[in-house]
Structure 1
Amino acid sequence: MGIVINKVREAKGDLDEVVGFIEDVVKAPVLGVISLDSNVPLASNYGTPVLAKFPRIQASKDLLELGENLATWIFGKKHHKKSKWSEYGHSIREALHGIIHWS
């Protein structure tokens, strides 16, 4: 089991403490931390994944990092992508579609 912390607005120092606490108490790795951003529901309102609509916002960068962390966690090694939109990355993005479209 791995944990994703979603809609985060805390400062980095506070977040490090929360992640440490979760990993120590729950004994599960925090695979990703997704920043709170008002552009995420806006992209959903347009019917477009946030990664496509707003690729430069922190939440999109966090989702890409989560995809990389999931690949490493699941397969035990880093997968090198040919490009940002490679087939493997696309598969991860599709799997995360439900996370991207929160309301």
Structure 2
Amino acid sequence: MSLEAVWSALHVENWTEFTWVMVGFAGQLMFTMRFIVQWITSERQKKSVIPVAFWYFSLAGGIVLFTYALWRRDPVFVLGQSTGLVIYIRNLWLIHAEKQKMSRAS
């Protein structure tokens, strides 16, 4: 497959656009990993579980996709990712606050 065919399939015209599309794919891969981690953990415990790694993958993927959305200048994508980032950060904050509370109690 030629470079021109790859660029055409990805809708890019130069190396900068290609790099940004790869950044977008990396963010999407992180989002996919969060579901795989959640699925494996739930299967092992035989119940629905959301491990802390889910929220870290969410945050990492959200940051990368938010950056990609800014570069694409896509207001819908920017709004969606920024809202998600607030939720991921809040969940991690609550998890860590609960751990601190439990360590103080023991």
TM-score by length of structure 1 reads 0.34
Structure number with higher strand proportion: 1
TM-score by length of structure 2 reads 0.34
Q: Which has the larger radius of gyration?
A: 2
